[in-house]
Structure 1
């Protein structure tokens, strides 16, 4: 008989949240029959990824760039896009690269910037709009400005697919538009010269998981294949560092071709050929050619790039990735560091306010809807993510923009953010995004009516909201936290959407040390021990409730993941704490 494990623990219950820990069902005999040469944890993680054959396991665990990436011309409209860009270069037509202000749009803009520079084409302009003053996507004034400035070709990256009227106007003014986007399909596709978006109903591209920067990379590949240029197709691999940043930062599933591109992009990131990255690694004491993982992107690189647009202008993040000057890199990294610190403080203040409001509620609603004119819209996506993670409820948050309200949302329980907003479209000025994340804007007078309609729509989608469920892969003890175990789990890198870093149940560990650190003592470092060894475990932005659990001498159960701390050539194996309770 197959052996199955099912562990269900209520960690804490109050009027705010209930969390369940569940160890994933695992048919041991079935997986052992196929993967007898692999350790149990590898079998479990393959099962998690729905991998049942040796061939599929080899593809997943050993990505091969030559074998596991696809012909760019399988994308609809690729031939037209490549031909038009090639013609513009050869004719020295002015090209505008219009990128979104987030990490994906910035990185996609860098892809074209680097390519044009490499082929000695200079008649181009990178344009990234101001998050607050201009907002998301193309505006009519952009089109008029670009046309009057002599532009003949406009390339949008990580935006554009919803800009029907603006693209129609560009055509009237003699500006061809190529849309490179991966957002959810709008009701009416824009009349662009070419649309590169695998979500187009007529698109048959094999991989449905690429960022905007990933699609920009495929277009550059196509251009290099179709013409004779100063650089070769092989050169394009150096662009994979920014493709990897976008693939992780934009929460694109780390599956299929995206997994391959991120895998090789991590290697390019380790080489740090960009002056900005070299300086960032230096200031973070990461050493020369450090090990770069998806965590490095998620916790170190991407937050600083995104902080540029959240707290200032996205061009700082763009310049950080494109500067060739060491002196300028030092200035840019210092500025990004300051903006990131300001962003963290602001998010913390908003989250404290939100928790106070939630504590007043008699019970958890099916969806959180909060806002204040004083809140900075650019940081609300981070705050919404924290609410989803802690409470298991979708969150729609808004703040004040110059002449309207602007917000971000994150959804839980499989709710489609875009479809929810589409159902409320008559109360919104604009909206867009992905399955589980999006943005919206609305007039101040519609704040109440949107909230009412939002609650109705989500209630219909979700009749019975479920508690937060934390899915674990296996049980371990402090003595199991070894380099061998770490290296085994690391075979599944890069981690990210649809391939989350695996979580484990650390059972009955004794707290032998407890230390708070960071500004305001908001981070927590524990020493957790059993009879075999003591291991360090960290939680950044630890919930205040945890302080009642972590007294020295207490025995605890904890949800943990493996973590590598690398600085100045040193390497420390430790754990990241995700949740904790008394044993």
Structure 2
């Protein structure tokens, strides 16, 4: 395994920051190229306008008719946290705006597969919707959309995934990533302004796209006094949860949405479902940060779609009864515990496969694009296996499981690294070898696909070949990024607190990390795997408590270490004290 390299972001100086911006936060922002206008308070009024998505006007026309004529509206969601929160936002938001007959359906991962499939459309005939609205899916559902329209259903597709060369035959499509193919209200191909706006909105998650559509619909239905409009801000905690959990880039627009949602949670105005998930996870909502959504709440919602029925997660998010919501949150926690055990076993199998390969062929013979399959892997968990192995290897990984008991069809989930666009890579394989892949879709960092089991070896070779063409040695380097060294006086709880609440940190906007050389004053094992240390900065100052999780290989630590760490607050008995969360440790 290649060693990990710590690289520091380029230091930058700026003199146009808001006067009250914390100096350490300013330093982090400057190194990440944050504009001065984005460094101040995050206001909803600074959000990109809903019209930037394209297709909004046509979708609003249909939804306005549906509400005016009491059409039955069916929301078709997805079986991940983005799809679940997006479904809850759609149902809650449309009801707030006057829709009286709104229901939802979510495909079963094992039976229906992803998106608005023909089988799901057949099942919808029992409830007879007049209008189907997809959330976080549909842009690749050509056959399903056509089947729904053949049955007399109108269809609005809301999605954020990348489209193929053609769009499905829906009545309206709202997708910032489809604007190059969708009709621009001014020109075709899209005019420069619309194309630019679409690009700036392209980072929205599926739940964000739905929230934007609701904003546009509210403006259409309530054009007068803004004070008389229904309060869609009540949905922002759900928008924040889905946005963070789906790992879309936390660009300036998404940071505004997530910050607003976290503010609602901290101020005690979260929905009953989100509050219940916080309680079930043992987290304090008054100290809510984006990491809670990504590492505690999101996995609980996702677990339902991976192992059981995503309706459990959606019902939790739709409930207004605190006791009912908590009961559902507890069930989700139990399913998530089962998911963790299953995932750990599968990751161990994947690592053993790779270890045998390295032992036989050497580390430098590892494929650039890694493809793994085990006959007994669970198709709902392969995405997490791909994610874990991608992090450890810094290579794009596709993990496959059998789609059914026959083993003839495989279902895969892929995760990528910076600089390797997964959906484009799969499209390149598909174009070069038509019929090799069954269905595929996704975006830059995550994708899903299916293929006949007989095609696995050919696909693995072709995927690796594409990765070798698109990735160079520098991109495959196992690199961790640092925001630089801290001076002795900067190791304070106040600095940790300022960084904690400075911005929603997450995908493409990671939590600040620093690197220093320390003397190890003392250490002890915590449990069987974790390492707690007392560290003294090399340049002097007090000793600082630090913890490194999953550190069995790092015990005992050397007397002098180079550590990559985050400033953290350890809350014990109502008192906050500084601790370092060590992310990487090596001899100095």
Same fold per superposition (TM over 0.5): yes
Q: 1:487 to 1:273 in 2, by over 3 A?
A: closer
Counterpart of 1:296?
292
Match of 1:380 among 360, 367, 382: 382
Partners in 2 of 1:388 and 1:299 — Cα distance?
17
- Structure-2 change in CA distance of 1:532 and 1:235 (3 Å): same
**How far 1:119 sits from its partner (Å)?**
4.4
**In 1: Cα distance, 2:29 partner to 2:327 partner:** 44
Verify the 8 A CA contact 1:514 1:550 in the aligned structure 2.
Answer: no
- Partner in structure 2 of residue 214 of structure 1: 208
Deviates more, 1:412-421 or 1:41-50: 41-50
Q: Distance in 1 between matches of 2:33 and 2:577?
A: 32
Q: Secondary structure at the match of 1:427?
A: coil
TM-superposed CA distance for 1:120, in Å, is 5.4
1:133 aligns with 2:146: no
Whole-Å Cα distance in 1 between the matches of residues 346 and 526 of structure 2?
21
Q: Distance in 2 between matches of 1:291 and 1:305?
A: 20
Match of 1:504 among 496, 501, 514: 514
Supply the distance in 2 between the matched residues of 1:315 and 1:416 (Cα, whole angstroms). 31
Match of 2:276 in 1: 279
Instruction: Give the 3 Å change call, closer, same or farther, for CA 345–527 of structure 1 in structure 2.
Output: farther
Matched, 1:546 2:551: no
TM-score when normalising by structure 1: 0.88
Q: Select the residue among 306, 314, 317 that pairs with 2:313.
A: 317
Q: Distance in 2 between matches of 1:500 and 1:178?
A: 34
Q: 1:534 is matched with which residue?
A: 543
How many angstroms does 1:566 deviate by?
4.7
1:65 matched to 2:67? The reply is no
Give the whole-Å Cα distance in 1 for the aligned partners of 2:486 and 2:544.
12
1:308 Cα deviation after fit: 1.1
Deviation at 1:415, TM superposition (A): 0.9
Which residue of structure 2 aligns with residue 456 of structure 1?
Answer: 465
Compared with structure 1, are the counterparts of its residues 48 and 170 closer, same or farther at alpha carbon in structure 2 (3 Å cutoff)? same
Secondary structure of 2:201's counterpart equals coil
Measure how far apart 1:248 and its partner are: 0.9
Aligned-pair CA distance for 1:417: 0.5
In the superposition, relative to structure 1, how do residues 220 and 269 fare at CA in structure 2: closer, same or farther (>3 Å)? same
1:367 and 1:393 in contact (8 A); partners too: yes
Matched, 1:438 2:438: no
Is 1:285–1:567's contact at 8 Å kept on the other side of the alignment? no
Inter-partner Cα distance in structure 2 for 1:311 and 1:567: 35
Query: Is the alpha carbon distance of 1:212 and 1:513 closer, same or farther for their aligned partners in structure 2, counting shifts above 3 Å?
Result: same
When the two chains are superposed, the root-mean-square deviation of aligned CA atoms in Å is 2.5
Please give the alpha-carbon distance, in whole angstroms, between the structure 1 residues aligned to 2:496 and 2:2.
32
Query: Does the 8 Å contact 1:431/1:438 carry over to 2?
Result: yes
2:338 aligned residue: 342
Instruction: Give the equivalent residue in structure 1 for 2:368.
Output: 366
Q: Deviations over 1:259-314 (max 9, x none)?
A: 11111011112225322333333344445x51211111111111111111112111
Relative distance call for 1:575 and 1:451 in structure 2 (3 A) is same
Q: Contact 1:538–1:577 at 8 Å: present in 2 too?
A: yes
The correspondence for 1:90, drawn from 51, 68, 91, is 68
Q: Which runs of 5+ in 1 are unaligned?
A: 1-15
Secondary structure at the aligned position of 2:241 is classed as helix
CA separation of 1:269 and 1:395: change in aligned 2, threshold 3 A: same
Secondary structure, aligned partner of 2:169: coil
Tell me which residue corresponds to 2:428.
423
CA distance in 2, matches of 1:525, 1:337: 28
Q: Is the 8 A contact 2:281 2:333 kept in 1?
A: no
* CA shift in 2, pair 1:354/1:80, >3 Å: same
Deviating more after overlay: 448-457 vs 176-185: 448-457
